């Protein structure tokens, strides 16, 4: 079975500052990893994913995450945040080839302050 830990329930940060949202996972098999973002009163939007290949993956709005197999981590980073990045971020894991068995972390609220 897989599990996901997001240690930070809330991360306050000032606008234009860098941010890192931490995600660690546990699994006895190879995994896919995902970050989803949820804006207030909306569903989940896929932010980025690691399926295979390069361990550094990027989103179109400046976020990036690096798959670190030895540390079983998939931390999300952005060098300069905007007010509009305020949202809840969920890390998720599934066995390879089985995203129908997606397991989510508890979420991290990124609160960007002016």
67 binds other proteins (CB under 8 A): no
Burial of 70 (C-beta count, 10 Å sphere; 0-12/13-18/19+): exposed
Closest-CA residue to 17 (of 74, 83, 109, 107):
83
Selected binder of other proteins within 21, 23, 33, 36 (CB under 8 A): 36
Q: Rounded to whole angstroms, how far apart are CA atoms 107 and 18?
A: 19
59 binds other proteins (CB under 8 A): no
CB of 67 vs other proteins, minimal distance in Å = 15
Q: Which residues bind other proteins (CB under 8 A)?
A: 32, 34, 36, 41-46, 49, 51-52, 90, 94, 97-102, 104-107
């Amino acid at each position: 079975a897989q599990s996901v830990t997001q240690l930070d329930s809330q991360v306050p940060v000032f606008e234009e500052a860098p941010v890192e949202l931490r995600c660690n996972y546990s699994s006895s098999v190879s995994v896919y990893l995902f970050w989803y973002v949820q804006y207030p009163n909306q569903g989940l939007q896929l932010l980025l994913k690691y399926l295979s290949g390069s361990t550094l993956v990027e989103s179109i709005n400046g976020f990036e995450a690096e798959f670190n197999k030895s540390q079983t981590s998939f931390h999300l980073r952005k060098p300069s945040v905007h007010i509009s990045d305020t949202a809840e971020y969920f890390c998720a894991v599934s066995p390879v080839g089985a995203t129908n068995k997606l397991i989510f972390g508890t979420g991290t609220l990124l609160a960007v302050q002016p």
